[in-house]
Structure 1
Amino acid sequence: MKENKIKWILPFLVFIIGMGILVGTVDHLKANAKKQNREMAGLNAMTYAERVKKDMTKGIGVTDTLKQILVSEHGKISRFSQVAENMMTNSIQSIQLAPEGIVTEIYPEKGNEAGKIDLIHDKDRGEVSRYARDNGVFTMQGPFELKQGGRGIAVRNPVYLENDDGEEVFWGFTIVIIRVPDIFADTVKALSDFGYDYRLSKNVSRREETYEVISRSKGKLTDPVSYVFEMAGDRWKLEVMPRQGWFGSRSLYMVSLGGLLIVVLLTGLTGALLVFDEHRRRFKRLAVTDALTGIYNRHGFDEKVEQYLKQHPEKPCVGVQFDIDDFKLINDMYGHASGNRALQILAQKMQQYFGEKAVVGRNGGDEFCIFLPDCTCGKVKHWLEEFTKSKRAFCYDGEEKEFHISLGYAEYPLQGDDYDHLMRCADAALYEVKLRGKNGCMVYQKGFHSEVRTRLGFALTDVSENLPGAFIIYRADKTEDEILFANREMIRLTGCQSMDELLEYTQSSFRNLIREDEQETVEHNIWEQIESGHRNDYVHFHLKKEDGSLLEVLDHGRIVENGRYGKVFYVLIVDYMSMRKHFNV
């Protein structure tokens, strides 16, 4: 009931608090948005002003190239028209040479004939030209109306050559007429596309503070941010402001609407997160927990122990490795359900015996591990020995079946100076127990080698191939007695060379190994024994070999519940005459 109340109260509190935060946030945004937008606009003004400057520099570079050619060619440029043609771009109106300040060469000449003037003595251009000549700096004049249409800026770069006495003498000007705003059209378009209105201006003259507009957008500028920069001794100014204003009502509306939506979503999500958090904790437990036994899996065990060792590197502790003796045989004889039950029983005993301070985990299969903090091998020796010898059993068909474990342990940092080394030492001790007959407990000693550790659980073939007789497994089904396995002795007894040959000869049916006239009798005897309460006693019949000959045999079987195949027969078959001869019957 208390948790249900929390699930209702928390979302309500989130809504109230969220609305309060939203109102405060909107007021704060309203008070600070203009300042933030102006800072951003200032950065953009600086960025795009530098791009305008870079664009103009491309035009200025044409005069520098011509200047270098004149210096290297001692004041001459052969094939000027061809050189100029290679330098032309869409934003250049014309390229000119003015030796001694008089324009004599213009490219393209057509439409630009009026440009051939004496710059030094010209009424409109003389003052700027003389300033460039006398001070050795290039100048920019304009903007002015071009006769061809549009507006332009003239860039004049003074050229000086050395005379015979090694003195620099004024040669004239290299000139380029740049079309504006064509040369920086891409830059101002990008600025406009970015959501800004702009105005680009240049000072009327070096001595005046007034500016003349070179290019601008259509929008009206209200209290714009400006960035002033110099180029060729002239001052340029780029003014910008957001097209939507410094903080338009539309933006405020969108922020308010968006904030309200967030508050509503958070209110709804809060309740969901309470449920999700519970699931998250459960999934976290599942990620580090073995699903079958409920204790830590290998990942969870490693994480827990490594965390402890990191926090308490100086404290002694004990690592334990153990497994169930002959666990494979338990699965084969009693089925995987019984094997799983044995694992669960063992995990329960571990938790009960070692308590909450110990970290217990399952490595996988029938292998388990224990970490005992703040103790030594000497202190836990008797404890571990008692645990190893404790009686443990699972129930199968109403009968208790005991099973045993083998256990090895080692001490940190005495024997293993880190987590991996500690568990390898414990594993080596476990292996030594296996070598000495299993069902025991042993501490790690110098000379044990974990690298030779192998899984010693008995596999089906390990047992069957060494039985004193032929062994076969087949389905316990009256209509489908499929052969599932036969050992080498059984294959040899039938006169076959391999399991595949046996299956082909019998068509995978045990019935086909019995002489035809005995088949029904033998099957009847087997099932009569089972149905009368016996697990299958001895049955006598003639085994039909692959070459057609007959062998008198004695069949002794047992019916077993298998987790994969259901009921199956485990059967030993012995040569009847050989047995009688041996026992003189």
Structure 2
Amino acid sequence: MKQKTLIPLIVFLLGICLVGIILYKVDSHETAQNHTTALLNATTYGERIKNEITEGIDVTDVLKQILISESGEFNQFDMIAENLMSDSIESVQLAPNGVVTDIYPSAGNEAGKIDLLHDKDRGKISCYARDNHTIITQGPFKLKQGGSGIAVRNPVFLKDENGLEYFWGFTIVVLRVPDIFSDAVSALSSFGYEYRISKTDAPWSDTYNIVSQSNDSLINPVSYTFTIGKETWMFEVAPQGGWRNNLLITKTSVILTANVILLSVLTCVWLTSKENKNRFQILAHTDSLTNIYNRYGFDELAAKMIAKNPKTHFVAALFDIDDFKFINDIYGHGYGDKALKRLADSMKTFFPSDAILGRNGGDEFCVLLPNYTFEEAEAQLQQFTSLPKTFSCRGREQQFYISLGYAEYPTFASSLSQLMRCADAALYEIKLHGKNGCMSYNQELQSVVRKQLGFALRDISEHLPGAFIIYRADKEDDELFYANHEFLSMTGYQSMDEFFRLTNKSFHNLIREDEQQQIEASIWEQIDSGNENDYIHFHLRKADGSYLSVLDHGRIVESPQYGKVFYVLFMDWEDMHIHYSDKFSG
């Protein structure tokens, strides 16, 4: 009788101890997982908030570029400011010499026309922005129209007739909060998180002011910090109701009364662990930007598929965006990401459901098509390459192009890695022949194609026996793109950055002032007449302000992305005369 009582009691007590241990382990595991997930969300949405604020700040950069291009003059301010407005922007302002003179919309903002550099609340931080050549944000502060705002002040520096830099004033935008990052915080709130966004009250301060926060308090939040200008922002996140899973703890405590409840809890823990494992396996195999396989996930799944069906024909395609760096440089990395996501979305729509889609990294993507030969895939891949591809930038669709190479297994490869190398060789053959095309691998292509391309891009421009530049031909706003080492050496510029800075990236500024009108008229006469080649003699401005007599041999081409582009070779006029007169006199 004692055994009948004692054994069940021992089993029960051992069960309670086991449940207690399991309860402790489950609670620690869940809390750690919640911290990990919350930190991932804080990082992801913190970057989104930073990008959304930066998009608002970009308005000041647009105004700044207009002032620079117009030498400090700003015409039709109201019309331009109106086009730049959005729901998250309260007002757009200009402050020449630090004094606010123009505000859009003007109604209700008359009190904002103040001297920023001498105002007791704004003077110190405004002077800091001017003296340190940096964007500053100030706020939050209450808006007369309701809600709160943050003022962004972007200092503008111009050059006088002597080439000396001087402070013009500020371009300003007042951002509404939390409107500017409402999309990010709304998405985060829908996942069951509380949040708080703070920023340092000045670049030199460690004190944080709350910019925006959810209604409930945060318990032991995780945080993610980022910088805008020279100010630090902090984004804090915590789950609603705290970190512990109180429901699971309550259920587990009920298990003490029976082995069945204990089994149920163990099953629940096993299922929870399995779910978490699957979730992180998906994250490890998926590209977070495009939601297709990353390189690790693509290689693993593709290798398994080929190994499982070794006699099946497969076609692998490798492609990237032509001149993707220019998209990032011209429009910004945020719009580069938009182009990548648009390309991935078009892949999901275009290719069959059994195709494996992946992003190798950067702007390079890959596709594996099962049960295809290269003849069967040719039309499909040609069609995908030629389909219009665009991304949206400030309300306009910007077009971009891709280059694609593909190869067939097992015709040209015995493994996935060899198959991808063949596709890579075909891709770089396309690159060598002008991009924006599609090509299949054949046995004449070798892996050295990539080395040949690398040599061409890296070495030809630097070792070509001549000085040359590339610039966009535009009557109102020409833009310098490139100068090789020979040109920089001939004209005394220490680097490309110095060349762009001293010329303001304009070919117009390389021509001696008294020749500018005549030379530019000659150039445009060439363009308008349809002549692709021309020779012009003029005086080229050097880095030290002196001039060099040169012969300019220009060729104009039509670029699908930049319009008319000039490739210009320069020869020293005096050296050329001395060299050839000596040569022919003998």
Higher relative contact order, structure no. (Cα contacts within 8 Å, ≥ 6 residues apart): 1
TM-score range, shorter chain: 0.3 to 0.5
TM-score normalised over the length of structure 2: 0.40
- Structure number with larger C-alpha Rg: 1
TM-score normalised over the length of structure 1: 0.40
